[in-house]
Structure 1
Amino acid sequence: MTGFETLPLTRPDAQLVTVFGGSGFLGRHVVRVLAKRGYRVRVAVRRPDLALFLQPLGKVGQIVAVQANLRYPDSIVAAVQGSDVVVNLVGILQETGRQSFSRLQAEGAGEIARAAAAIGAPLVHVSAIGADAASPSAYARTKALGEARIRDAGGDYVILRPSLVFGPGDSFFNRFAALARALPVLPLAGAQSRFQPVYVGDVAEAVTRAVEGRVPAGRVYELGGPEVATLEAIVRYMLTVIMRRRKVLDLPLPVARLQAKALEIVDTLSLGLLPDALKLTRDQVTLLQSDNVVSEAAKAEGRTLEGIGLQPTTMEAVVPGYLWRFRKAGQFAKPRVAVESAVPETLSPVPYAPVKPSGPALGPDASQPSRMGTRWGTRG
């Protein structure tokens, strides 16, 4: 199979794409690109009233939000009815209440896959690099289990595994920049783990190409940017962008786990009111101990952004455009390092200095007293 073969036979404006999790960080970018391509988009979320901000991304009536909860299979079946393609972007980094890793990322993904297969709609599923059934991290294990249930559902699918996703509104660069604005020290768990940050716009484009049938189905793709760097290096780059000096501290694993446990207790006692920038779980600490980069096998087999015809975007091209608000002096703050003037020297090689002062305020001869008093009158 070379792709979702039925899709190119119909114009985009005649096709309906249902997007689960379309109101999230990645979801809003996916919805925007799909709408721009002309698709009708149904956004399946728990609170449709909180997804109304998506409607201006398309034409009148092109984007509609409907209620769906992955804990209730009947709502999933209702949401996918009439869909030509289904996209699943649901994922969480921290369990809260009844929103567990197992229910959303494993069982929920399986329910969506079965509902899509039942109506013959292909599924585009966004997982994560590092998904591994043997991982000590519950997040990574349930991501892998969700992928397995998608394969078992029997329908056509494309699975995309992005690395750390960045872009306006992300929860990584914005989070650490907010911490840098408030704290003199930035403690890091897994500071030497490697990441391959990928631009959210590139991931959204990859999802859209899969919807269009331009990505071979039945495969798992790993999406990473052009740069591989340690977590510490990425955080130091962020500090350079926001022009702040902070000490970056590499926490030993036992200390990081102790810190995470303390923050979990504080978050529980505060009924979840702890600021997002301060939240850290022991499962996240475990996850941060492993590298998060595109595998050599994926590169060799063309299961990457480049393999589907996309050129990854660098961090430098995007990050400064939305982190400037964390600078002390705002957008127009000058960097500490002196930068040579961009004005060509041929325009003004040396400052202009007249040999003989002249002008109306000085009179025709600077050696004589000014006659301005005569002209304007003097007080006697």
Structure 2
Amino acid sequence: MAGTDGNLDGKLVVLIGGSGFVGAHLAQALLKRGCRLRILSRHPERAFRLRALANLGQVQFVRGDVTRPASLAAALDGAHGVVNLVGAFAGNLDALQGQGAGRIAALASEAGVQAFVHVSALGSDAASPVDYNRTKAEGEAAVRAAFPGVTIVRPSVLFGEDDAFLNLFAGLIAKLPALPVFGPKAQLQPLNVDDAAEGIANALADPARHGGKAYDIAGPEPIAMLDLNRRIAAAQRRDPLLIALPDVVSGAFAAATEWLPGAPLSSDQWALLKAGNVLHGENGLAALGVTPRPLSLFLDRWMVRYRKHGRFGAKAAAR
């Protein structure tokens, strides 16, 4: 990973929706550059763990709701930069990531913000029948209209040691002797969350260069879902039976169970998975000054805690 630090020292950056997975990693990248942070979320207490990484007064936590613009205006006062990280797979998606994103951009423009980064999603498409992709695309259009100098970043699936992506599969593989794999041939191009954070930070540091542009960003290699599960199992030193489900079975399962609390797959999520999530052009990380790191660089180390004997697995197996 490489990047140009830029001059963000002492500047105030507001992370809207900053208490989540991406927000936590982006906050760490910005704190290292000397930024002052204001983290806005409906549940700012979820980001309190970042206090230990900041100097006294370097980070603030603000409660706000993007569906209520009045709760956002004061949080943008005095900000040099804003990053919109809000996204969801359920609920009123237009209010959250469609026209709601446009309202955030309008408030940022009114506040005189110099650098605005909007985090969308790889595969956003205004013609998509999937609400997630459709509203992501509509959000991009609304943001551009309100803040023409916005930098739009469209990441692929993000992974990290504390994610809800790899760890979902890792937990199931550690517990079950056999595991069904939905969309076994579906291709993903997972991107390390810290590489994504570095790219976003570089965009904030140089709005003259990156403003008004959109970047599709992803990891260095596409990986099929079945192969991904095999890699996770191998890193755990396990050999479960991985059952590749036909698409018709996966679709029927999603339709039949999505109404259940905690259902593993909704119809929209199945549609997104089936379509895959890979680059169809250049990787925008190059323009953002970042070289993406492969999953293989991390997987063995991260999967140690899922092995039968943890970090003592190799010794126990040798006895």
Query: 1:319 maps to what in 2?
Result: 299
2:238 is matched by which residue type in structure 1?
R
Q: Which of 233, 239, 244 is the aligned partner of 2:238?
A: 244
Q: CA deviation at 1:291?
A: 2.5
Q: Which of 265, 282, 302 is the aligned partner of 2:259?
A: 265
Query: 2:266 maps to what in 1?
Result: 281
- The answer to whether 1:231 aligns with 2:216 is no
- The answer to whether 1:184 aligns with 2:180 is no
Query: 1:171 maps to what in 2?
Result: 164
Q: Which of 201, 213, 216 is the aligned partner of 1:219?
A: 213
CA distance in 2, matches of 1:156, 1:252: 45
Q: CA deviation at 1:13?
A: 3.7
Deviations 1:39-69 (A, max 9, x none): 1000000022332112112111101110110
- The answer to whether 1:110 aligns with 2:90 is no
Residue 275 of structure 2 aligns to a residue in which SS? Answer: coil
Structure 2 residues without counterparts, runs of 5 or longer: 1-5
Residue 306 of structure 1 aligns to a residue in which SS? Answer: coil
CA distance in 1, matches of 2:243, 2:100: 38
Query: 1:295 maps to what in 2?
Result: 280
Residue 296 of structure 2 aligns to a residue in which SS? Answer: coil
CA distance in 2, matches of 1:228, 1:203: 16
Residue 260 of structure 2 aligns to a residue in which SS? Answer: helix
1:116 is matched by which residue type in structure 2?
A
Q: Which of 151, 154, 158 is the aligned partner of 2:151?
A: 158
Q: Which of 30, 35, 53 is the aligned partner of 2:31?
A: 35
CA distance in 2, matches of 1:321, 1:108: 39
CA distance in 1, matches of 2:94, 2:76: 22
Asked if structure 1 preserves the Cα contact closer than 8 Å seen for 2:202 and 2:289, the reply is no
Query: 1:89 maps to what in 2?
Result: 85
Q: TM-score, normalised by structure 2?
A: 0.91
Deviations 1:79-134 (A, max 9, x none): 212111110111123x1xxx432221112211111111112213101111111111
Q: 1:48-67 residue pairs with structure 2 within 5 A?
A: 48-67=44-63
Residue 186 of structure 1 aligns to a residue in which SS? Answer: strand
Query: 2:19 maps to what in 1?
Result: 23
Asked if structure 2 preserves the Cα contact closer than 8 Å seen for 1:167 and 1:319, the reply is no
Change (3 A) 1:154 1:311: closer
Deviations 1:163-219 (A, max 9, x none): 111111111110001111222332232221211111111001001101101652111
- The answer to whether 1:310 aligns with 2:290 is yes
Query: 1:79 maps to what in 2?
Result: 75
1:45 is matched by which residue type in structure 2?
S
Asked if structure 2 preserves the Cα contact closer than 8 Å seen for 1:123 and 1:155, the reply is no
Query: 1:69 maps to what in 2?
Result: 65
**Runs of 4+ residues deviating >4 angstroms:** 335-338
Deviations 1:302-358 (A, max 9, x none): x511232211111111222222111111123229999xxxxxxxxxxxxxxxxxxxx
Q: TM-score, normalised by structure 1?
A: 0.77
Query: 1:203 maps to what in 2?
Result: 196
CA distance in 1, matches of 2:243, 2:44: 42
Query: If you compute each CA radius of gyration, which structure gives the higher value, 1 or 2?
Result: 1
Q: CA deviation at 1:142?
A: 1.1
Count of matched residue pairs: 312
Structure 1 residues without counterparts, runs of 5 or longer: 1-7, 268-273, 339-380
Shifted more, 284-293 versus 258-267: the winner is 258-267
Change (3 A) 1:186 1:85: same
Residue 239 of structure 1 aligns to a residue in which SS? Answer: helix
CA distance in 2, matches of 1:210, 1:67: 26
CA distance in 2, matches of 1:336, 1:167: 28
Query: 2:3 maps to what in 1?
Result: none
Q: CA deviation at 1:155?
A: 3.8
CA distance in 2, matches of 1:241, 1:336: 16
Residue 287 of structure 2 aligns to a residue in which SS? Answer: helix
Change (3 A) 1:44 1:177: same
Asked if structure 1 preserves the Cα contact closer than 8 Å seen for 2:309 and 2:316, the reply is no
Asked if structure 2 preserves the Cα contact closer than 8 Å seen for 1:113 and 1:155, the reply is no
Asked if structure 2 preserves the Cα contact closer than 8 Å seen for 1:117 and 1:156, the reply is no
1:285 is matched by which residue type in structure 2?
W
Q: Which has the higher contact order (CA 8 A, sep 6+)?
A: 2
* Cα-Cα RMSD: 2.2
Change (3 A) 1:149 1:219: same
Q: Which of 43, 46, 51 is the aligned partner of 1:47?
A: 43
CA distance in 2, matches of 1:336, 1:136: 51
